[in-house]
């Protein structure tokens, strides 16, 4: 049997990624088993693609960020929960390292791909079953957001999932902000059931009554407890369409947009929970220009924005795509402009909403970004997303995630999740800019702390590779996650053999 390592053929691109990156090279803690791919191919003929094949190349490059293009030993494409279960059994018996890939939209290197291991995309687990009576949709974990919107739109229903069409189901184990976030809370709290393959190869359903501890742990626990194969998501009724689109503002309008953002966080999103805005500032290094471009949404089939949102169109803008349309259509439009395979880096932290802080942080980021114009293809993105008290009440009234935000349930203060994203053309530039970016974001955290506005929560789905997202949930939640790990994965298979992405912190390491 050919040893799969013998197939190693490093392409120039992959080699460049490794030599120049300052991003993490994850250490092998399990005994490497070079026979894994051969054993898999024997067990699942037709489902395994060795390194260098067309399927391998496609799957290895099918990621939003070039930081995720790695060098897996082979690609395994299971098309049933049973195959996932058998494969996990094989991985554990042979100490095979593997990755679990949803839609491939994490920018964390090896979050969903792997060097020298098995890349397991979930894409063939792609069925949808709409249950009109129960008000839910059972969705394969290989689906993209567009598939779910397209399945639900014809029924005048929608689900609390990501807003961009190509994003995958990974957010159902991370956090998840949807168009209905202000009314319905996090995506994780709108999951009614997870079908999970555990470390021992068994298949369980985790919900309020069956394995409730695992159910809770998955609501923020990422890939640390098992391979989720299907999730049943709560649906809500729509009016058959949504009013929304993107409004683009010139640099001269940015001060007014910043005021709008604060007003949205503390008034619009609070007083009318059908409102939804995703405020974004963008800096283009090539042109040295900044704009704001904001998806602005009202979750009703109306023909114009309600009075409370008028400020978004009263602020001078250059272009607006606002119109009444299906949710799928909106999700497709929003994804335009976020192409795959550019180099992406993202970092995030949380604050209490504050107009001065929002203004100062963008001003500081803008001047910081201007120092890096020489980097080809540089684009800086700053997003300011609210978590209102109501969205937390909605979340925690449905279930009990592990995100550690329940402290904020009773204090009527909106939180702001501040996102800092960099795009560039080449991995060659990461060694220069990424450490400085981490330092810059840390200086903004320090600024928020100095004004007593910092909140410890780090949203996992937008976190940087070295940001301690799970530790940020707080000691009680982390202790609970260790208990669940001890019960469901006592030999730490999902730490040792699935090394990528946000992992449970090592005990005593934080």
Ligand X SMILES: Cc1cc2nc3c(=O)[nH]c(=O)nc-3n(C[C@H](O)[C@H](O)[C@H](O)COP(=O)(O)OP(=O)(O)OC[C@H]3O[C@@H](n4cnc5c(N)ncnc54)[C@H](O)[C@@H]3O)c2cc1C
104 binds ligand X (CB under 6 A): yes
Residue whose structure tokens are 């050919």: 2
Choices 22-30, 173-181, 280-288, 390-398; region in contact with ligand X by CB under 6 A: 173-181
Per the CB < 8 A criterion, the answer to whether 174 and 188 are in contact is yes
Residue whose structure tokens are 């994003």: 167
398 binds ligand X (CB under 6 A): no
174 binds ligand X (CB under 6 A): yes
List phi, psi (to 5°) of 398: -95, -40
Residue 52 zone, left/alpha/beta (φ > 0; ψ -120 to 50; rest): left
The least CB distance from residue 372 to ligand X, in Å, is 21
Q: Which residues fall within 8 angstroms of residue 39, CB to CB, at 6 or more apart? A: 90, 94, 96
Q: Which of 71, 222, 273, 485 binds ligand X (CB under 6 A)?
A: 222
How far apart (Å, rounded) are the C-alpha atoms in residues 65 and 151?
27
How far apart (Å, rounded) are the C-alpha atoms in residues 326 and 498?
38
Residue 87 in tokens: 């494969």
Name which of 226, 75, 202, 41 is nearest 141 in CA terms. Answer: 226
501 binds ligand X (CB under 6 A): yes
Is 191 in a helix, a strand, or coil?
Answer: strand
Q: Which is nearer to ligand X, 38 or 384 (CB)?
A: 384
Q: Which is nearer to ligand X, 105 or 324 (CB)?
A: 105
The least CB distance from residue 68 to ligand X, in Å, is 7
221 binds ligand X (CB under 6 A): no
Q: Which of 78, 109, 170, 285 binds ligand X (CB under 6 A)?
A: 170
Query: Binding string to ligand X for residues 335 to 374, with x set by CB under 6 A, is what?
Result: ---x------------------------------------
Q: Which is nearer to ligand X, 38 or 100 (CB)?
A: 100
The least CB distance from residue 180 to ligand X, in Å, is 11
Choices 160-168, 207-215, 249-257, 424-432; region in contact with ligand X by CB under 6 A: 160-168
Helices (H), 212-253: 212-218
Per the CB < 8 A criterion, the answer to whether 354 and 453 are in contact is yes
Residue 308 in tokens: 């409370």
Q: Which of 66, 69, 171, 188 binds ligand X (CB under 6 A)?
A: 171
Q: How far is CA 323 from CA 142, 326, 504, in A?
A: 30, 10, 43
Residue 161 in tokens: 């999932």
33 DSSP assignment: -
Choices 41-49, 219-227, 436-444, 477-485; region in contact with ligand X by CB under 6 A: 219-227
415 binds ligand X (CB under 6 A): no
Report the residue number whose CB is nearest to ligand X. Answer: 102
Strands 415-424 and 343-352: antiparallel
Length of the chain: 510
In 113-252, beta strands by DSSP E:
118-121, 128-131, 136-140, 157-159, 191-197, 203-206, 227-237, 242-249
464 binds ligand X (CB under 6 A): no
227 binds ligand X (CB under 6 A): yes
Choices 9-17, 169-177, 353-361, 409-417; region in contact with ligand X by CB under 6 A: 169-177
The least CB distance from residue 2 to ligand X, in Å, is 28
Residue 504 in tokens: 């449970």
Choices 85-93, 220-228, 256-264, 315-323; region in contact with ligand X by CB under 6 A: 220-228
Choices 164-172, 302-310, 372-380, 398-406; region in contact with ligand X by CB under 6 A: 164-172
401 binds ligand X (CB under 6 A): no
Q: Which of 118, 120, 139, 177 binds ligand X (CB under 6 A)?
A: 177
Per the CB < 8 A criterion, the answer to whether 346 and 421 are in contact is yes
87 binds ligand X (CB under 6 A): no
Q: Which residues fall within 8 angstroms of residue 211, CB to CB, at 6 or more apart? A: 204, 205
64 binds ligand X (CB under 6 A): yes
Q: Which of 36, 87, 151, 173 binds ligand X (CB under 6 A)?
A: 173
122 binds ligand X (CB under 6 A): yes
Contact set with ligand X (CB under 6 A): 64, 100-106, 111-112, 122, 141, 162-164, 167-171, 173-177, 222-223, 227-228, 338, 461-462, 500-501
């Amino acid at each position: 049997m050919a040893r799969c390592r013998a197939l190693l053929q490093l392409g120039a691109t992959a080699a460049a990624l490794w030599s120049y990156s300052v991003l993490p090279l994850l250490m092998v803690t399990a005994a490497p088993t070079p026979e894994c791919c051969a054993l898999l191919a024997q067990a699942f003929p037709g489902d395994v693609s060795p390194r260098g094949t067309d399927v391998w190349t496609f799957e290895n490059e099918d990621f939003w960020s070039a930081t995720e293009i790695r060098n897996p030993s082979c690609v395994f494409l299971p098309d049933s929960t049973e195959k996932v279960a058998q494969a996990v059994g094989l991985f554990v018996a042979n100490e095979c390292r593997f990755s679990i890939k949803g839609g491939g939209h994490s920018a964390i290197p090896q979050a969903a791909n792997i060097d020298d291991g098995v890349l397991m995309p979930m894409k063939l687990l792609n069925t949808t079953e709409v249950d009109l009576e129960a008000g839910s949709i059972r969705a394969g974990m290989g689906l993209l957001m567009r598939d779910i919107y397209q399945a639900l739109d014809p029924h005048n229903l929608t689900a609390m999932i990501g807003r961009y069409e190509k994003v995958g189901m990974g957010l159902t184990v991370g956090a998840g902000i949807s168009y209905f976030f202000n009314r319905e809370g996090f995506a994780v709290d709108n999951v009614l059931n997870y079908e999970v393959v555990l470390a021992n190869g068994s298949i369980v359903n985790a919900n309020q009554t069956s394995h409730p501890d695992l159910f809770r742990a998955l609501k923020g626990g990422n890939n640390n407890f098992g391979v989720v194969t299907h999730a049943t998501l709560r649906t809500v009724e729509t009016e058959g369409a949504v009013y929304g689109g993107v409004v683009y503002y010139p640099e001269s309008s940015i001060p007014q947009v910043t005021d709008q953002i604060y007003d949205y966080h503390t008034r619009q999103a609070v007083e009318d929970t059908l409102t939804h805005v995703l405020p974004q500032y963008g800096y283009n290094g090539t042109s040295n220009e900044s704009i704001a471009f904001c998806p602005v949404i009202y979750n009703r089939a109306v023909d114009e924005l309600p009075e409370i949102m008028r400020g978004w169109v009263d602020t001078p803008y250059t272009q607006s795509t606002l119109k009444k349309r299906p949710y799928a259509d909106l999700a497709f439009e929003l994804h335009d402009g976020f192409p795959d395979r550019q180099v992406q880096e993202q970092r995030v932290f949380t604050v209490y909403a504050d107009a001065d802080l929002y203004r100062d942080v963008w001003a500081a980021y803008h001047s910081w970004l201007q120092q890096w114009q020489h980097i080809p293809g540089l684009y800086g993105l700053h997003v300011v997303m609210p978590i209102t008290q109501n969205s937390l009440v909605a979340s925690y009234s449905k279930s009990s995630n592990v995100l550690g935000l329940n402290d904020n349930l009773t204090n009527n203060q909106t939180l702001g999740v501040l996102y800092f994203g960099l795009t560039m053309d080449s991995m060659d530039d990461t060694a220069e800019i990424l450490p400085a970016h981490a330092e810059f974001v840390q200086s903004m955290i320090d600024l928020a702390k100095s004004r007593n506005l910092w909140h410890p929560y780090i949203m996992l789905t937008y976190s940087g590779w070295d940001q301690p997202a799970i530790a940020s949930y707080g000691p009680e939640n982390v202790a609970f996650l260790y208990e669940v790990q001890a019960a469901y994965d006592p030999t730490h298979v999902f730490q040792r053999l699935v090394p990528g992405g946000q992992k449970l912190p090592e005990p005593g390491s934080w």
